[in-house]
Amino acid sequence: MIKHVKNILKIFVGDLKHIFSNPVATLIAFGLTLIPALYAWFNIAASWDPYANTKGLKVAVVNLDEGASIDSIFDSDIDDSAINIGEMILDELRKNDKIGWQFVDKEEAMDGVESGKYYAAVVVPEDFSTKISSVLTSHIERPVLQYYVNEKKNAVATKITDKGVASVQQQINETFISSASKVMGKLVNGYSDDWSTRKDTDRGDAISALNEIKDSLNQLTDTIGILKGTLRTVNSLNDGVKGTLPDVNKMITSGEDTAQSARTLVDSTRGMSDIVTQGVDDTLDQITQTEETIYETFNVLGNISDTSADAAINTIKAMESMTSAMITQLNSFGKLLNDINSKLPIKLTDVTQIQQQLGAAVKQQQDLLVKLQSAEKTVKETRRLPNDMKDDIGDSLSLAYNTISDINNFYKGKVEVPLKDSLDKTYDALGTTAGALGSIGNLVGQIDTTLTSVNTSSQSLIEALDSSLNLINKSQERVDDMIEDVNKIADNKQLNKIMDIMKNDPERFSDFMMKPTDMQTNKIYPVENYGSAMAPFYTILAIWVGGLILVALLKTKVEPSRAEGLKLYETYFGRYLTFMLLGIFQALVVSLGDLYMLKIQCVEPGKFVLAAVIASIIFTNITYSMTVSFGDVGKAIVVVFMVIQVAGSGGTFPIQVTPKFFQMVNPLLPFTHLINAMRECVAGLYGNAYWIDIRNVLVYIPLSLLVGIVLRKKVLEINEFFEEKLSQTGIM
């Protein structure tokens, strides 16, 4: 055993003598230890803090925004409500020196991006402020910030400019939220002040208005009672007149004083014309009063909120009930007029016209009923009544009220007097023909039919009035409920608390809404700069490159004269010690240079240097074994292995974002574990993670020894064959 060790050391010591006895060889050896370090140092220094020097990246900014006014959206008069997002962007970017913002016109910006003068361009369109303000309206349009980027110029630069533009977008969002919140804060602040000072006054006004509606409903109830009494009187008179008709027939049959009896009949019914026309007049007045009550009830609604929604629903239901009663009354009234007009000797054309007006009024009431039912459903679902729906109902009520008023005026102006005259003339005609017995018989039948028809129409109207009276009673109950709800709203503790909150300072409110949360970053393993974070990757890569340089410039095989009589493994270890020593020097130079020349952050410098030395021992063993066993083919394999490790070790990008192949091979690569071990040294140790990574990478030593000693014997002849063929080319 001692003999084998002596043979190994003999080769190793001989190599050192040959190197240091030759000045050129010594210089080359010195260069071999320095070149890998230069590779690492230049890369680490170049990436020391790139994100602190992004102001050299030129990005064009174009503002075409014409601005907007939040004030007009709220229909108020508040200072500082005009916004121009484009100008705000420019103001903020002038303060931002992280990127080289260039403020130019659109033509220059687009030409600069295409030519490569600018990495990117941001264009704020003309309607940007208008569209972003539309979020405060019912018609929302999303604004679009135009971003043009030249991805050909540099792959990483565009990612940095993307982040810069994303920060611009964030600034836009915060600025708009701040402006809108400030205006809304002033509005709600003023409203809360009004609520505090006018709460009791408004409650009194609302209750007073509801009491007025209640009084109107009471008056309407009284009017309906009077009208019902009038109609019953008409029916009683009709029944009395009809009771005399059989006696008249007997008088005609017996021939006893026929003319005088006919005159008596006519005189006894002559007062009917006044009663009928007055009854029609009273009916129209009652219909008009009902429409006024519906309109007044609607005006009590006001603005509906969560707390007043239930009361509003009751109000709308009351309006629906009264509207249904109105439709019934209009239909009954139209039938009454038609029955009276059909019995007149000469029909009144104006009655036909008023019938058409009544038909239009019924259609309007039916449309109004549909809108009220839709409003009730909306309030139940949303606890709100949209302004457009409320305005539509108000317009329908105004139209319906005007139509009823027109019918009333038309009747009193053109129908009432002609109707009374026509009835009077009918009785006069009956008087002049009292002597004609044959005619009087026909007249008696006509009077009987007319009175029966009037009785039927009057009874239908009485029934309609009874239905209306029931609905009005229900409406009165709902008005009482509404008065109770108004009192509850004014005394509601939660609502009063909300109003107190709304008194907050609008400036503080807008500042909070602009940035409602703060992010507190707690760095678990803080790293001072990007160069320190990348030092493990570039250091490990440089050590591998150092191993490649060694096998490229130094001979891996011992000269035959020195290897004569030695075992294969003795020559293997004898020459490997030289490679290992130079590799250790490479690792010491690069790691100590990282620490004390570049001054990278390193919490555990001793372990950092140890990891570099272990990496060098393993890497030189791998490269040496592959080269000594496979020659130039082995060198090529080592280069390919390095390329795979650069991509699959997670040294630059997180391994999770790489293709599936690299994620699979990642745990099998020595780079992975050695980079992780050095990261532990740079940022801080976690448990035994450092030693676990070192343990994992040591498994490559027996594997490389297997290749360099065991497999070497089996592939020796193949390797010699390849070398002979390559030498025959005269080039390789």
Write the secondary structure of 513-548 as one string of H (helix), E (strand) and C (coil).
HHCCCCCCCCCCCCCCCHHHHHHHHHHHHHHHHHHH
The tokens describing 221, both together, are 């109830």
Q: Model confidence at 687, in pLDDT bands (50, 70, 90)?
A: very high
Alpha helix locations (H) across 270-348? 272-299, 309-343
pLDDT number for residue 710: 83
Mean pLDDT of the chain: 77
pLDDT higher than 80, residue 94: yes
By CB atoms closer than 10 A (0-12, 13-18, 19+), residue 546 is buried
Would you kindly state where each structural domain of the chain is located, as residue ranges? Answer: 2-49+529-728, 55-153, 187-506
Token representation of residue 548: 């490649």
Helix (H) or strand (E) segment spanning residue 677: helix 670-683
* pLDDT above 50 for 366: yes
pLDDT tens-digit series, residues 584-620? 999 999 999 999 999 999 999 999 999 999 999 999 9
Contact residues for 640 (Cβ-Cβ < 8 A; gap 6+): none
Contact 543, 616 (CB under 8 A): yes
The CA distance from 145 to 695, in Å, is: 53
Report how far Cα 175 is from the mean position of its chain's Cα atoms: 18
Model confidence band, residue 433 (pLDDT cutoffs 50, 70, 90): very low
Percent of the chain with pLDDT over 90: 26
Most confident range (mean pLDDT) of 386-390, 452-456, 666-670 is 666-670
CA separation for the pair 238, 506 (Å, rounded): 76
Q: Tell me: pLDDT of 512 over 70.
A: no
Residues 6 or more apart whose Cβ sits within 8 Å of residue 191: 502
**Residue 61 φ then ψ, to 5°:** -130, 130
CB 632 within 8 A of CB 721: no
Q: Is the pTM of this model over 0.85?
A: no
632 pLDDT tier (thresholds 50, 70, 90)? confident
Cα dihedral: 217, 223, 224, 226 (round 10): 150
Q: Quick one: which of 14, 57, 45, 280 has its CA closest to 156?
A: 57
Instruction: Calculate mean pLDDT across residues 681-696.
Output: 95
The Cα-based distances of 448 to 98, 317, 413 in angstroms read 104, 44, 30
Q: For the chain, first and last CA: distance in Å?
A: 40
The CA-CA-CA angle for residues 516, 189, 78, to 5°, reads 95
Angle in degrees, CA 491, 503, 383, rounded to 5: 50
The pLDDT of 450-470, averaged and rounded, is: 58
Distance of CA 252 to the CA centre of its chain: 91
The pLDDT assigned to 245 comes to: 47
Phi, psi of 676 (to 5 degrees): -60, -40
- Spell 304-335 as b/e; 16+ CB within 10 A means b: beebbbbbbbbbbbbbbbbbbbbbbbbbbbbb
d(CA 56, CA 71): 40
Q: Are 600 and 50 in contact (CB under 8 A)?
A: no
Work out the number of other CB atoms within 10 angstroms of the CB of residue 71. 16
| Exposure string over 177-198, b if 16+ CB within 10 A, otherwise e | bbbbbbbbbbbbbeebeebeee
C-alpha R_g of the chain: 52
Q: Per residue in 229-242, pLDDT tens? A: 655 665 565 565 45
User: Is pLDDT above 80 for 634?
Assistant: yes
Q: How far apart are CA 124 and CA 66, in angstroms?
A: 10
* Residue 437 confidence class, pLDDT cut points 50, 70, 90: very low
Q: Are strands 82-83 and 68-69 parallel, antiparallel or unpaired?
A: antiparallel
Is 189 a residue whose pLDDT tops 60? no
Q: Tokens for 696?
A: 């994992």
